Amino acid sequence: MKTREAPARPSFLGRNAMLFVGLFLVGGMTLAALLAPVLAPFDPTSLDVMNALSGPSAGHPLGTDALGRDILSRMLFGARVSLWVGFVSVGLAVSIGLVLGLASGYFGGITDEIVMRGVDIMLCFPSFFLILAVIAFLEPSLVTIMAVIGLTSWMGIARLVRAETLSLRERDFVSAARLAGAGAGRIIFGHILPNAVAPVLVSATLGVAGAILTESALSFLGLGVQPPSPSWGNMLMEGKDVLEIAPWQSLFPGLAILFTVLGYNLLGEALRDWLDPRLSR
């Protein structure tokens, strides 16, 4: 009698394809941004009207825009803007969400009520329109964009951390720490936070993609990074007027946004599968 063979386990590459692709896209874009001064063939703000709207060539691999500026150079320096906005704004949102979520979940009572009602109020407003309303009263700048995105993106992280804290505060190791005389600060930051950081890491990775999209949308509307400083969003805005005769001016920044956001989403999904044993297959 033949015995049934156990199904073959997926290969390491197959189980981690999303992680590899995400790391490749994110790592490549980050490296290009860091090395922008070395890799860029031209100054991103230098004008060359004699070569305006010239297509991809040996001298300008991705072509030029309506003012003769090199698209490749502007994309490389624009990557710096997008990634900087993503990292700083998400870092700010994570910091706020962690503090409020930990306090809400651990102390409960009136603290929990105040934090959660604040979260509910913030969630009543569509985040992008809230950002537009705030920026309409402030001078558009890179610092303003990072601050506004961070200050309007902490609610999901706060709710996530609160839920983790409510579960962790009833665990035996937390009870043992209380019996040993540990204070609230030591319990929160020494015992609860290290065990609640995994889902926050996933949320932060996905949040970088959202922040990059938000910055690009604001710059496209003229409320983000202001010309002549390059960003992928304002490059799309400048390219829409010449889309029929110079499609490369919008095509390449659009692809950069697509692959960067895709990379962070794939990386976030891979981290979620890796850090949550319930999702392992």
Mean pLDDT per 10-residue section of the chain, whose length is 281 residues? 47 65 90 90 85 85 88 91 90 93 89 91 82 78 86 90 88 82 82 86 90 88 82 88 86 92 90 66 47
Residue 104 belongs to some domain of the structure: yes
What does 51-93 look like in DSSP terms, one character per residue? GTT--S-SSSTT-B-TT--BHHHHHHHHHHHHHHHHHHHHHHH
Q: How far is CA 244 from the centre of its chain?
A: 31
pLDDT of residue 31: 92
CATH assignment of the domain containing 180:
1.10.3720.10
Q: What is the Rg, in whole angstroms, of the alpha carbon atoms belonging to the chain?
A: 23
Task: Note whether residue 60 is domain-resident.
Answer: no
Question: Domain for residue 64, yes or no?
Answer: no
Q: Answer whether residue 145 is part of any domain.
A: yes
pLDDT at res. 94: 93
The answer to whether residue 141 is domain-embedded is yes
Task: Output the pLDDT for position 6.
Answer: 45
Q: Which pair of structure tokens corresponds to residue 88?
A: 């700083």
Three-state DSSP class for 17?
helix
* CB-based burial, 115-152: b 16+ in 10 Å, e otherwise: bbeebeebeeeebeeebeeebeeeebebebbbbbbbbb
Q: Please list, residue by residue across 180-208, b when 16 or more beta carbons sit within 10 angstroms of its beta carbon and e when fewer do.
A: eeeeeeebbeebbbeebbebbebbbbbbb
Look at the block and give the residue holding tokens 């035996």.
Answer: 172
pLDDT of residue 7: 47
- What's the pTM? 0.84
Is there a domain that residue 4 lies in? no
Q: State the Cα–Cα distance between residues 37 and 225, nearest whole angstrom.
A: 19
Q: Which pLDDT belongs to residue 278?
A: 52
Question: Largest alpha-carbon pair distance within the chain?
Answer: 82
- What the block records as the tokens of 234 is 């304002």
Cα angle 97-98-102, degrees, rounded to a multiple of 5: 115
Provide the residue range defining the domain that includes 74.
16-31+69-279
Give how far Cα 56 sits from Cα of 38, 64, 69, 180, 249, Å. 20, 8, 12, 69, 10
Q: How far apart are CA 233 and CA 271, in angstroms?
A: 28
The count of structural domains within the chain is 1
Tell me, yes or no, whether 39 lies in a domain. Answer: no
Q: What is the pLDDT of residue 15?
A: 53
140 occurs within a structural domain: yes
